[in-house]
């Protein structure tokens, strides 16, 4: 029997899109995923960013964590027996902050402890690392962004791979002379584009897309059948059913 999975990419909480988040949860409750994957940047970590911060939105880390925990509570409520939390480049802001400004706490405070991932039953994958689900590799990025990031990821892995980071919806399939095929996919993001302060708004609106992914793992073959789910005017289509919020 095929095992359903739900793939969540780049929420950037607390700067997530609240309506898109509710749509994801609505789908998740019907999908009843056996596998649940966060593909990086679930939290923004704006408060510990090394970049110049807007004082009107520089939240305290405790306030950011409150919103992150609320989001994890929502996902935990889907009751997926297998959950994977992949750290992204925004998660890595915490490591760099501790390393440069609070070395006494380095190795004491980290992502798994802040989010209580062990207690919640999540498998943790550090930034710049990967994990596998069947024959599918999962990582946040391979150091590339933009339109061609899916191709760079495919070149790096030479196997089917899912990445995040670019906030784009992209899906490419390539083969070889032996007739073997592999897929590279990105499933957009769930952030609020109006909260972006590091890119021109017109460019962000043009290139980034709200969305997430679903899939089905065949445990016998290890093949994961993937489907991008774009969110269009806060509606999406999953398995022939129209969802809206």
Q: How crowded is residue 63: how many other Cβ atoms within 10 Å of its Cβ? A: 11
Please report where in the chains the tokens 């989010």 appear, as a residue: 115
Q: What is the pLDDT of residues 17-47, one digit of tens each?
A: 999 999 999 999 999 999 999 999 999 998 8
The pTM (predicted TM-score) of the whole model is: 0.95
Q: What pLDDT, on a 0 to 100 scale, did the predictor assign at position 21? A: 98
Instruction: Express each pLDDT in 58-77 by its tens digit.
Output: 678 889 999 999 999 999 99
What is the pLDDT, as a whole number, of residue 60?
A: 86
The residue to which tokens 């994961």 are assigned: 224
> How far apart, in whole angstroms, are the C-alpha atoms of residue 149 and residue 167?
11
Pairing type for strands 161-162 and 169-175 reads unpaired
CB atoms within 10 A of CB 7: 28
Contact 118, 112 (CB under 8 A): yes
Output the pLDDT for position 58. 63
pLDDT at 50: 79
| Tens-digit pLDDT string for the chain (245 aa) | 999 999 999 999 999 999 999 999 999 999 999 999 999 999 999 888 877 777 777 678 889 999 999 999 999 999 999 999 999 999 998 888 888 888 887 777 899 999 999 999 999 999 999 999 999 999 999 999 999 999 999 999 999 999 999 999 999 999 988 888 999 999 999 999 998 888 888 999 999 999 999 999 999 999 999 999 999 999 999 999 999 99
Nearest to 225 by CA among 234, 213, 236, 235: 213
Strand partners, 37: 7, 84
The predicted pLDDT at position 19 comes to 98
Q: Tell me if 68 sits within 8 A of 92, measured CB to CB.
A: no
Residue 53: what pLDDT? 74
DSSP letter for each residue of 213-239: EEEEE-TTT--EEEEEEE-BTTEEEET
Q: Is 161 left (phi over 0), alpha (psi -120 to 50) or beta?
A: beta
What is the SS3 string spanning 173-184? EEECCCCCEEEE
Residues near 203 by Cβ (< 8 Å), separated by ≥ 6? none
Whole-angstrom distance, CA of residue 83 vs CA of residue 75: 9
DSSP 190: -
Query: What confidence score (pLDDT) does residue 68 get?
Result: 96
* 122-125, strands of its sheet edge to edge: 122-125, 82-86, 35-39, 3-8, 211-217, 224-230
């Amino acid at each position: 029997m095929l095992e359903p999975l739900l793939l969540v990419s780049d929420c950037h909480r607390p700067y997530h899109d609240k309506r898109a988040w509710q749509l994801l949860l609505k789908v998740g409750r019907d999908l009843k995923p056996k596998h649940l994957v966060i593909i990086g940047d679930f939290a923004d970590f704006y408060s510990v960013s090394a970049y110049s911060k807007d004082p009107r939105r520089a939240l305290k880390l405790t306030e950011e964590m409150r919103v992150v925990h609320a989001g994890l509570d929502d996902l935990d409520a889907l009751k997926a027996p297998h959950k994977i939390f992949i750290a992204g480049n925004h998660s890595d802001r915490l490591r760099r902050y501790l390393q440069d400004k609070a070395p006494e706490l380095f190795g004491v405070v980290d992502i798994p402890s802040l989010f209580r991932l062990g207690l919640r039953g999540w498998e943790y994958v550090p930034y710049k690392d990967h994990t596998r689900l069947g024959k599918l590799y999962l990582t946040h990025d391979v150091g590339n962004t933009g339109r061609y990031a899916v191709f760079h990821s495919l070149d790096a892995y030479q196997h089917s791979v899912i990445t995040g980071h670019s906030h784009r919806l992209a899906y490419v399939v390539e083969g070889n002379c032996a007739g073997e095929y592999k897929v590279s996919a990105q499933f957009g993001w769930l952030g609020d584009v109006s909260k972006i302060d590091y890119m021109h708004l017109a460019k962000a609106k043009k290139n980034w897309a709200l969305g997430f992914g679903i899939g089905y793992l065949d445990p016998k073959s290890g093949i994961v059948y993937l489907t991008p789910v774009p969110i269009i005017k806060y509606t999406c289509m999953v398995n022939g059913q129209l969802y809206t919020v």
